[in-house]
């Protein structure tokens, strides 16, 4: 029953993967007798945050459903509940359910008519290549240097991306200095990550990684290429504009609230 909505939201790339997600932990897919549904997933394994990846109900039903989900989250040992990414105009609906805005995001799309593929030109001594399993510890370190606790990936998540998506690393003489994550869900390509470690910035590596990932996504023939960045992240916004990505009008936001769980979460 939930699959058509989950499918339309591009949350999983196949029904089989959604079924596997559900069978691993059935509590992550909650359905009410009224046909409302929510799909839940741990945000990061180093945080006590449970994310609502999708919530399908009318606006006036958001507060009672969020209360219900907060109880589920607390029962699973999560101290905080994160909203889906919603248009800023929808935020008041979640605020009425006790959530507060946690961050403002800008979505960008590649304008295919303006996109001029260019060979990536990393700085001398830097090369781009597909990530290997041995690179994972370096990627975890780069991620931790580039993103705060809320955004950085945990090792399990990066290992999953290595299996399921496309990771490309920029390697300098002393090892990996940056990477990208590109994901394809049916007809949509997403740049899920772009990171260059602080000591290696302003040398063209970010631009080379970005061009390589966008060229890959365009080559695969997906209908749309998009990505998100934080509103305050001016460096990335300048870079994205430079290569031909267009910012969509309207902001989207994450909202967060406490669940009432005060203990320390066990990962068992
Ligand atoms: C954004 C990021 C990837 C840029 O990497 P980089 O290797 O330093 O970027 P480049 O040297 O290739 O810069 C290319 C262009 O980006 C823009 N840019 C990069 N850093 C910038 C800064 N600090 N301020 C303004 N513009 C900047 C410029 O347009 C620059 O072109 P120019 O040199 O002709 O002016 C890097 O700063 C980073 O990893 N930041 C933290 C993680 C992050 O924000 N990721 C992206 C959002 S999810």
Tens of pLDDT, residues 238-256: 999 999 999 999 899 999 9
- pLDDT in the model for residue 20: 95
Given a cut of 60, whether residue 1 has pLDDT beyond it is yes
- The mean of the pLDDT values for the chain is 94
**Torsion angle defined by CA atoms of residues 236, 241, 243 and 247, in that order, rounded to the nearest 10 degrees:** 100
Query: Residue 100 and residue 82: Cα distance in Å, rounded?
Result: 10
Q: What is the pTM of this model?
A: 0.91
Q: How many A from CA of 235 to the centre of ligand 1?
A: 5
- pLDDT in the model for residue 268: 46
Residue nearest to atom 4 of ligand 1 (CA): 206
Q: What is the pLDDT of residues 163-221, one digit of tens each?
A: 999 999 999 999 999 999 999 988 899 999 999 999 999 999 999 999 999 999 999 98
Instruction: Tell me if 3-105+252-258 shares its fold with 112-243.
Output: yes
Residues with CB under 6 A from ligand 1: 146, 194-196, 201-207, 229, 233-236, 238-239, 242
Q: What is the domain partition of the chain in residue ranges?
A: 3-105+252-258, 112-243
For the record, the structure tokens of 204 come out as 């063209």
Nearest to 138 by CA among 120, 155, 156: 155
Atom of ligand 1 nearest to the CA of 209: 12
Mutate to test the pocket of ligand 1, among 145, 151, 171, 235 (most ligand atoms within 8 A of CB): 235
Please name the residues in contact with 178: beta carbons below 8 A apart, sequence gap of 6 or more: 142, 169, 170, 194, 195, 196, 197, 200, 205, 206, 209
Atom of ligand 1 nearest to the CA of 207: 12
Mutate to test the pocket of ligand 1, among 108, 171, 176, 202 (most ligand atoms within 8 A of CB): 202
pLDDT band at 266 (very low <50, low <70, confident <90, very high): low
Looking at CATH, the fold of the domain delimited by 112-243 is given as Aminopeptidase (3.40.630)
Given a cut of 90, whether residue 111 has pLDDT beyond it is no
Residues 3-105+252-258: name the CATH superfamily: Gcn5-related N-acetyltransferase (GNAT) (3.40.630.30)
Given a cut of 70, whether residue 36 has pLDDT beyond it is yes
- pLDDT in the model for residue 161: 95
CA angle at 92 for the pair 88 and 97, rounded to the nearest 5°: 130
Nearest to 199 by CA among 181, 169, 177: 177
- pLDDT in the model for residue 263: 78
Give the up-direction half-sphere exposure of residue 261: CA atoms within 13 A in the CB hemisphere: 22
């Amino acid at each position: 029953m939930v699959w058509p909505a989950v499918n339309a939201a591009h949350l999983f790339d196949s029904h089989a993967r959604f079924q596997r997600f559900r069978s691993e932990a059935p509590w992550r897919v909650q359905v009410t007798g009224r046909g409302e549904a929510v799909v839940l997933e741990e945000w990061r394994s180093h945080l006590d945050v449970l994310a609502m990846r999708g919530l399908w109900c009318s606006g006036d039903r958001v507060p009672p459903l969020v209360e219900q989900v907060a109880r589920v989250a607390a029962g699973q040992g999560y101290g905080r509940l994160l909203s889906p990414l919603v248009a800023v105009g929808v935020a008041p609906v979640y605020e009425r359910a006790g959530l507060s805005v946690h961050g403002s995001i800008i979505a960008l799309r590649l304008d295919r008519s303006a996109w001029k593929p260019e060979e990536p030109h990393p700085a001398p001594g830097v090369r781009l290549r597909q990530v290997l399993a041995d690179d994972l510890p370096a990627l975890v370190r780069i991620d931790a240097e580039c993103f705060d606790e809320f955004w950085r990936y945990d090792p399990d998540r990066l290992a999953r991306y290595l299996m399921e998506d496309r990771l490309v690393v920029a390697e300098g003489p002393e090892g990996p200095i940056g990477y990208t994550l590109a994901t394809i869900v049916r007809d949509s390509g997403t740049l899920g990550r772009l990171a260059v470690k602080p000591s290696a910035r302003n040398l063209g590596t970010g631009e080379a990684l970005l061009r390589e990932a966008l060229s890959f996504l365009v080559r695969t023939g997906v209908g749309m290429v998009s990505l998100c960045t934080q509103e305050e992240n001016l460096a990335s916004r300048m870079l994205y504009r430079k290569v031909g990505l267009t910012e969509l009008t309207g902001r989207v936001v994450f909202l967060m609230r406490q669940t009432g769980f005060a203990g320390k979460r066990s990962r068992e």
